[in-house]
């Protein structure tokens, strides 16, 4: 059996995240300094001092979450946990895919920070404020959620954006269409259907201007083969070729985050421990729901790092 390292997406951010890691590990502190230098501003101050509404801005939250994930990894490395030795695969939820690639040496930390700042700005700018929305449909499978979205769309956009876990699908698109999807989902037996507090309709065709901006930016960046395969959001299978990684990162902006299928693939291929590096514990919780018997371990404090080091010890991924 083996281990996958996973990296969280937007929504996991909290003011103060990563501060204890930076205080305890010089290796973690250097991550925040390098991200500040790459962006030409003190993002670390926003991270640790807030205010929350500034940290939550997409252009700040995306590089900030990546920084915390890599800081957690560097702290783990300082305790002897090396990704290439202990992980069979990496995967990240939406922006977390950039964290995963930085962790696996495919992207430099500075490039990942700059790309995520650009990605956040481009996603925010792609749709006028208030024109789009996202909603969580709970209790429906992906096929039913897609049918609901298609029925709700009419001449607007409404598609499945995130397939997070069994019975947890998020739809995205024009606000009116998403609001219709909520009512249609309830009629189809959804346990709950609610609008999400997001600033733009991510992972739907309305994001095409952002995808175009990312295609241009990614073409200028050096992408190397990762030290372990990346299970890609839009494919739910592993990839290692730099050209394909570049293409899938562009596709990911408008495409569905196939997280449930990604975790199912990992479980079917021997992964039984899902280590979530970075803010929160959403992905480790989802892993336990998706893969029977799987264990999840969230690592975002010095105490978590100690637990991870003890847990993995000298074991290497199979």
Q: Active-site residues: which are they?
A: 94, 203
Across 282-301, b (16+ Cβ under 10 Å) vs e yields: bbbebbebbbeebebbbbbb
CB 281 within 8 A of CB 299: no
Which DSSP helix (H) or strand (E) runs through 291?
A: none
Residue 168: beta bridge partners? 138, 165
Handedness of CA 44, 47, 50, 52 (dihedral sign): positive
Query: Which residues, at least 6 apart from 47, have a Cβ–Cβ distance to it below 8 Å?
Result: 15, 16, 17, 18, 19, 32, 55, 64, 67, 68
Q: Which two tokens stand for residue 293?
A: 């018997």
Cα angle vertex 263, ends 136, 90, to 5°?
115
Query: Under DSSP, is residue 16 helix (H, G, I), strand (E, B) or coil?
Result: coil
Cα distance between residue 96 and residue 91, in whole Å:
7
Cα distance between residue 279 and residue 291, in whole Å:
22
On the 0-12 / 13-18 / 19+ scale of CB atoms within 10 A, 197 is: exposed
Q: Which two tokens stand for residue 33?
A: 């300094």
Q: How many residues are given for the chain?
A: 318
């Amino acid at each position: 059996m083996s281990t996958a390292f996973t990296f969280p997406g937007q929504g996991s951010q909290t003011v103060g995240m990563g501060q204890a890691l930076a205080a305890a590990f010089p290796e973690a502190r250097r991550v925040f300094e390098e991200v500040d230098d790459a962006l030409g501003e003190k993002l670390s101050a926003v991270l640790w001092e807030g205010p929350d509404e500034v940290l939550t801005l997409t252009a700040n939250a995306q590089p900030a979450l990546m920084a915390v994930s890599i800081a957690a990894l560097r702290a783990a490395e300082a305790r002897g946990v090396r990704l290439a030795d202990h992980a069979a695969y990496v995967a990240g939820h939406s922006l977390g895919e950039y964290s995963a690639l930085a962790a696996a040496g495919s992207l430099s930390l500075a490039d990942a920070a700059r790309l995520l700042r650009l990605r956040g700005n481009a996603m925010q700018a792609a749709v006028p404020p208030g024109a789009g929305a996202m909603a969580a449909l709970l209790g429906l499978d992906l096929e039913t959620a897609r049918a609901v979205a298609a029925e709700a769309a009419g001449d607007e956009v409404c598609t499945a954006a995130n397939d997070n876990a069994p019975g947890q699908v998020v739809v995205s698109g024009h606000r009116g269409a998403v609001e219709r999807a909520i009512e249609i989902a309830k009629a189809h037996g959804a346990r709950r259907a609610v609008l999400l507090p997001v600033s733009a309709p991510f992972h739907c065709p309305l994001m095409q201007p952002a995808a175009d901006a990312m295609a241009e930016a990614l073409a200028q960046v050096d992408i190397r083969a990762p030290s372990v395969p990346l299970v890609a959001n839009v494919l739910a299978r592993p990839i290692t070729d730099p050209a394909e990684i570049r293409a899938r990162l562009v596709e990911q902006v408008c495409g569905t985050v196939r997280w449930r299928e990604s975790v199912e693939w990992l479980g079917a291929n021997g992964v039984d421990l899902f280590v979530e590096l970075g803010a929160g514990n959403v992905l480790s919780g989802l892993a336990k729901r998706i893969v029977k018997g799987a264990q999840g371990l969230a690592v975002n404090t010095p105490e978590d790092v100690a637990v991870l080091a003890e847990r993995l010890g000298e074991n290497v991924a199979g």
